[in-house]
Chains A and B, each alone.
Chain A
């Protein structure tokens, strides 16, 4: 009996030893494989010498940046643009701590962020234009319901609660508006879209400015929160009598009904690529230089009171690339990488603009392109201007 026990123990001990031996062997083999494998990889990368430019930021321009990157890499096989669409706030954060070569954002750096940069200056390079539109679900009512800024602010403040409110009926005399409560829908995630929307509401409503303010996420007085453009669109399309806001491109692609908004000149303007471009043209006279602070810049502000911009849609905004003026302040940056980055920026505001319209983005007007050209020429590496003329012709 005892013997049997001992024999069993001996057997199981041998098994344990064998098992541990096998585990150790497997670990060693895997480790060896990986060390050899990575060694092989690193030699192959040095052979081709691919320069990878890293960027991170806004989700709104991601389809455009993605298209531009792949087209740029076709022309320059040695340069890869790696852009992560993690949101404007994340993009600014990564730009500030210098873990990316460029950031992209829908909201310019605020004063605190701008002055936090030491040793060099951050540059704002507007590279595309987007608009935010009020989207709604009213049975029997098509695209084109009219809104004014103060009415939208009052709805989102919870002061106007019914679709047949006299103010809405007053500007939409031909549409039979129902006696139903308005279901307000907003973005629950922090987003550049919310920034553009709240920036506009702050501009047209002193009460909104004081109580809620403008930011990528705010303390919403009323309403349901949907996650992402798709979340807001989902709630709006599923709930009759709801009102939300979406990126224009998203609303068009998903065929969601959207409204016209009254601009400062008093005209009700439907959002379109033309009316966004008109707004940017009207605003471009007051834009600062690329190395100055853009925190005060809003296209909404620029066209308010600008009577000549009668065809401008008011809720329009830039998306910006953020880069440092002196690239040597970035860890791991060298002349070749700096050149590749500057080439990409230059190409994106020139040839890259051709890819905007097919993706429902607004191409930059000539005045903004000229401003960007001056900004890109400011970029230096060790004090030497990086830009050497447009090398790539598309």
Chain B
């Protein structure tokens, strides 16, 4: 690095040796200045980035040490245990919580991603430019609403509406499926998934819209020059921006997995492995929020912290998985574009 410029210049201008020697001095002084400023810069960025790593490590260590008691008592059985009884037997198992978290997050993606991508495509490909900023402003406004407001809105407006108008239709038409059977309360897993879907829309749509904007116009022009229709062009644009779009979905998934307040107000907080989506369920974040303040004995508190540890691991696992998908699709896209 230090003599990179020098060697480059000597290679590029081998015949102007005298000129080179004349400009050697300014190069040296520049390098000296750059060395100190680079060092400061390196040090500053290293400090900042290692602080984040340290915080992460501290969190994992703290979660592990605090949940040690519960890990010792229940072992791996904690992960597939289905009983949560702080009163009589004092036995704790987290399977219904893990299950509930995964199902509601999957529902959130199922409903939220098509809506978000649709919004992003309209904004970047179809809508006239004067509509773009007002519409994206409104969509992003959704992100500014506190989750407790989503929760209250869901209890008082969304859940009764779904219970009275949407769920009966679902049950009458698709009731032969086990996931649409059983009593309808309004509050439950499906309502939780729908609220989460609404909550991830601003994140996913805003990021994927920016990704689509970043796709070079040459791609669109090339597609249209080859006689592609609007739909075919959009597909090419989408596949070009695939990694960014998956990244936006990961961000949305992160929010869905960790969402606490809104989901606990809507999901019904029932510790159960449900089959019907109308049934109440529970998530990891919700049980921590609900029971942490009143965890009166050490094992109880430790079990709740172990749930936090599992939530941490699940969130990381989901992220790693998604990153692998991005990596793979990136390679595929590169293959298409450059070969």
**Chain A residues engaging chain B, CB cutoff 8 angstroms:** 2-3, 5-6, 9-10, 13-14, 16-17, 20, 86-90, 92-93, 110, 112-113, 181, 183, 188-191, 198, 210-220, 223-227, 231, 234-235, 238-239
* Residues 58-95 of chain B, each 1 if its beta carbon lies under 8 Å from chain A, else 0: 00000000000000000000000001111110000000
Q: Which of A93, A112, A190, A220 contacts B291 (CB 8 A)?
A: A190
Q: Which of A14, A214, A227 contacts B264 (CB 8 A)?
A: A227
Tell whether B14 is near chain A: CB-to-CB under 8 Å.
Answer: no
Given A9-B30, A20-B40, A188-B264, do A212 and B294 touch, yes or no (CB 8 Å)?
no
Q: Which of B33, B87, B163 contacts A198 (CB 8 A)?
A: B87
Size range of the chain B interface in the assembly? 35 or more
Tell me the smallest distance from the CB of B118 to a CB of chain A, in Å: 31
Q: Which of A181, A216, A220 contacts B294 (CB 8 A)?
A: A216
- Chain B residues near A227 (CB-CB < 8 A): 264-265, 269, 289-290
A-B contact pairs, 19 of them (CB 8 A): A2-B8, A2-B9, A3-B23, A9-B30, A9-B34, A13-B30, A13-B37, A16-B37, A20-B40, A90-B294, A181-B183, A189-B294, A190-B290, A213-B88, A215-B87, A216-B294, A219-B86, A231-B265, A234-B156
Which residue of chain B is the closest to A222 with respect to CB atoms? B270
Tell me, in angstroms, the Cα distance from A235 to B155 when the chains sit together: 7
Q: Which of B34, B83, B295 contacts A13 (CB 8 A)?
A: B34
Tell whether B26 is near chain A: CB-to-CB under 8 Å.
Answer: yes
Q: Is the CB of B87 within 8 A of A214?
A: yes
- Chain B residues near A93 (CB-CB < 8 A): 296
How many A-B residue contacts, CB cutoff 8 Å? Answer: 135
Q: Is the CB of A188 within 8 A of B88?
A: no
- Chain B residues near A191 (CB-CB < 8 A): 294
Tell me the smallest distance from the CB of B276 to a CB of chain A, in Å: 14
Supplied contacts A234-B152, A238-B155, 12 more A-B pairs, CB within 8 Å: A10-B30, A16-B40, A16-B41, A188-B290, A190-B293, A211-B88, A212-B87, A215-B296, A216-B86, A231-B265, A235-B155, A239-B163
**Chain B residues engaging chain A, CB cutoff 8 angstroms:** 5, 8-9, 12-13, 23, 26-27, 30, 33-34, 36-37, 40-41, 44, 83-88, 152, 155-156, 159-160, 163, 183, 185-187, 264-265, 268-271, 280, 282, 286, 289-291, 293-297
Greatest chain A CB density within 10 A among B160, B265, B268, B294 is at B294
Tell me, in angstroms, the Cα distance from A189 to B33 when the chains sit together: 60
- Chain A residues near B8 (CB-CB < 8 A): 2
- Chain A residues near B163 (CB-CB < 8 A): 239
Which residue of chain B is the closest to A195 with respect to CB atoms? B294
Q: Is the CB of A20 within 8 A of B264?
A: no
- Chain B residues near A238 (CB-CB < 8 A): 155-156, 159-160, 186
- Chain A residues near B187 (CB-CB < 8 A): 224, 235
- Chain B residues near A189 (CB-CB < 8 A): 289-291, 293-294
- Chain A residues near B290 (CB-CB < 8 A): 188-190, 217, 225, 227
Tell me the smallest distance from the CB of A359 to a CB of chain B, in Å: 22
Tell me the smallest distance from the CB of A334 to a CB of chain B, in Å: 30
- Chain B residues near A14 (CB-CB < 8 A): 33
Which residue of chain A is the closest to B163 with respect to CB atoms? A239
Tell me the smallest distance from the CB of A85 to a CB of chain B, in Å: 10
